[in-house]
Structure formats: structure tokens, C-alpha cells
């Protein structure tokens, strides 16, 4: 549900048009809602992002939310050690040509 909300927003070359505080509050609210619903945080972690790392840490260590990282090795030499080193974060490697395979892997993990 949240992914649909994010992808439907217009995001230009300079990012979202919302103020940084609004983005921060919205994203943390989404994580809190996911925790209330026993949800899962699925994050694209191919390119290092301070914001995504913050959200993952917040979800994992404040709320104990399960985290799954989607990772494209072609986009970086290696996934961040802070992500790949956390044994509680499941990583799904994929390439642009195998997104269907990644979705199938994600579906299997979510059904566990």
C-alpha cells in the first residue's frame, strides 16, 4: 500500500516538493503504521542512501520491524556493510532483467 503511495507522487529532478520536515514526519509515520500492522519494510539498497539507512535503523531497532533489502550488484561494488552485515536483514539480489525473479523471491520471503 505504501509503495503505491510513493510511486504515485510526482517526484522531479530535485526530489519531492514537500519540505524536509514533512517528508521526515510522513516517512516515520508510515513506519509506525507498519509496526502497528506487523508489517515489513522493503527497501531498495543498491545505492547508499542516508535516508534509507535511517529508516531501516528506525524500523529495525525502535519497532523490531522485519526488513528486506532489494539489491542490484551492477549499481555498486557491494551492498553497504551496515546493511549486509545485519543478519536480520534479508537481501534479495537482482538485476534489471530479472525483476520478475526478484518479485517471486520477495513473495516467498513474505509468505514465511
Q: How is the chain split into domains, by residue range?
A: 2-110
Confidence band for 4, pLDDT divided at 50, 70 and 90: very low
Confidence of residue 100 (pLDDT cuts 50, 70, 90): confident
Q: State the pTM of this model.
A: 0.81
Query: Which CATH fold would you assign to the domain 2-110?
Result: Rossmann fold (3.40.50)
**pLDDT band of 32, cuts 50, 70, 90:** very high
Q: Average pLDDT of the chain? A: 84
Residue 31 has pLDDT above 70, yes or no: yes
Contact partners, residue 16, CB within 8 Å, separation at least 6: 9, 23
Amino acid at each position: 500500500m505504501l509503495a503505491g503511495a510513493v510511486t504515485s507522487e510526482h517526484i522531479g529532478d530535485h526530489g519531492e516538493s514537500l519540505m524536509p520536515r514533512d517528508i521526515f514526519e510522513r516517512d516515520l509515520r508510515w513506519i509506525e503504521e507498519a509496526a502497528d500492522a506487523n508489517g515489513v519494510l522493503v527497501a531498495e539498497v543498491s545505492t547508499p542512501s542516508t535516508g534509507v539507512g535511517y529508516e531501516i535503523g528506525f524500523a529495525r531497532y525502535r519497532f523490531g520491524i522485519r526488513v528486506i533489502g532489494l539489491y542490484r550488484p551492477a549499481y555498486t561494488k557491494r551492498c553497504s556493510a551496515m546493511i549486509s552485515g545485519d543478519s536480520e536483514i534479508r537481501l534479495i539480489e537482482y538485476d534489471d532483467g530479472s525483476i520478475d525473479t526478484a518479485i517471486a523471491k520477495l513473495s516467498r520471503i513474505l509468505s514465511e
